[in-house]
Amino acid sequence: MNLKNRKLFVPLLALGLVALGAVQLFAAVTESSTNVPLAIPDGGSVNSTLNFSVAGTITDANLTFSISHAWDSDIAISLTGPGAPIQLLVQNCGGSADNFTNTTIDEDAGAFPCAGTAGPPFTGSFQSPAAGTMNAFDSTASNGIWTLNAADDSAIITGTLTSWSLTLDGAAPLPVELMSFEVD
């Protein structure tokens, strides 16, 4: 093999190995929990897990969930990832109104309407209204067990965590032409 062909072959081989290797998080990937629906007990909480299979370093994280409950302000939502501590994302929002329907916590979205005309059923994308933030998961590993905790702080009305998913985004690797390959 001459030098010119070798210089072309090595980057193509490297690209092929990357393509055939483990799946990596380079763009937005959404995975959903499979152990829902789960009843949220009165005055208690329930944990649902998601084993995120795609590996990478997170650059943006968004949580989407649906809960049926007849008194939204009783509900608190927390999320724990494999590389970050628990984040309290929603608490005491919505008063006596009902339900969270495809609610997305996205720190790039507008403010969460805990009170006001755009209240429950909360549908759409909002920043976390509680003490935690989805940005806490940035720069951590994506793959592994994620746990969503849905808590009910009252003993009068029950609810159900009907679904939840994570959309995680990661940085792309350097293009092949920017990588350095030495061939002797």
Per-residue pLDDT band at 163 (split at 50, 70, 90) = very high
Predicted pLDDT of residue 130: 85
- Which one has a higher pLDDT value, 23 or 150? 150
Give the whole-angstrom CA distance, residue 129 versus residue 131.
7
Predicted pLDDT of residue 23: 56
pLDDT in tens, 32-63: 999 999 999 988 999 999 999 988 899 999 99
Backbone torsion region of residue 42, taken as left when φ is above 0, otherwise alpha when ψ lies between -120 and 50, otherwise beta: beta
DSSP H or E run through 9: helix 3-20
Per-residue pLDDT band at 96 (split at 50, 70, 90) = confident
- Any idea which of 54-63, 93-102, 115-124 has the lowest mean pLDDT? 115-124
Query: What's the whole-model pTM score?
Result: 0.77
Give the whole-angstrom CA distance, residue 73 versus residue 157.
11
Q: Is the pLDDT of residue 118 over 70?
A: no
Q: Which residues contact 57 (CB under 8 A, 6 or more apart)?
A: 25, 139, 140, 141, 142, 170, 171
Instruction: Answer whether 159's CB lies under 8 Å from 75's CB.
Output: yes
Over the chain, what is the mean pLDDT? 80
Give the whole-angstrom CA distance, residue 1 versus residue 3.
7
Predicted pLDDT of residue 79: 97
Q: Which domains are delineated in the chain? A: 24-174 (2.60.120.260)
Instruction: Answer whether 36's CB lies under 8 Å from 68's CB.
Output: no
